[in-house]
Amino acid sequence: MTGKSRRPSRAVYPGSFDPITNGHLDIIERGLKVFDEVVIAILRNPEKDPLFTVEERVAIIQETYRRQPRVKVDTFSGLLVDYAVKVKATVIVRGLRAISDFEFEFQMALMNRRLNPKIETVFMMPAESYSYLSSRLVKEVFALGAPVRDLVPPAAHRRLQEKAP
Ligand code: PNS
């Protein structure tokens, strides 16, 4: 031990999070084992037609992590690597559920590396039980009347119910 204090390691976990699912939570838990701080960064994407507004998604995540000071939530627009530099993160965390995720993730990781070679992308595998889970499927099955209580954190479940007709 040198006694020198080091800067806390910070990773950005970017995505749409519409809404955040237990699969995302699993990746965040894994990220916290490796990094001091995980910043959940929600993309402000005017092209998509989301179920939850960005502000609602931020509120859901804030409520979910209100007792975990090592998890922050923020929004970004523009290039992800520029956002990572802005918040002094050196790593981008992404979840890889299945081979089908790989091609897009591989392209994104290499493009981000080309844009900024100092930012490293780290992939984490969720628990097998979440390997099929996605925000899109949660929204779809919820809209068709199936229970999703076990698939999303309580804050997301409550807000989903508020959206129900
Ligand atoms: O949850 P998603 O929709 O799979 O997340 C995709 C996201 C937000 C990670 C990706 O679209 C992104 O990073 N967008 C920011 C724009 C950018 O930096 N594009 C170049 C990298 S390929």
Strands 91-95 and 120-124: parallel
| pLDDT level of residue 46 (50, 70, 90 thresholds) | confident
pLDDT score of 105: 97
pLDDT in tens, 129-155: 999 999 999 999 999 999 999 999 999
For the CA of 82, the closest atom of ligand 1 is 18
Work out whether the CA dihedral 25, 91, 106, 47 comes out positive or negative: positive
pLDDT score of 139: 96
Task: Report the residue among 18, 24, 43, 96 best suited for mutation to probe ligand 1: largest number of ligand atoms under 8 A from its CB.
Answer: 43
Backbone φ, ψ for residue 124 (5° rounding): -125, 140
pLDDT in tens, 75-121: 999 999 999 999 999 999 999 999 889 999 999 999 999 999 999 99
Q: 108 C-alpha to center of ligand 1: Å?
A: 8
Q: 91 C-alpha to center of ligand 1: Å?
A: 14
Whole-prediction pTM: 0.95
Q: Do the beta carbons of residue 156 and residue 21 sit within 8 Å?
A: yes
| pLDDT level of residue 157 (50, 70, 90 thresholds) | very high
Residues 26-30, mean pLDDT to the nearest whole number? 98
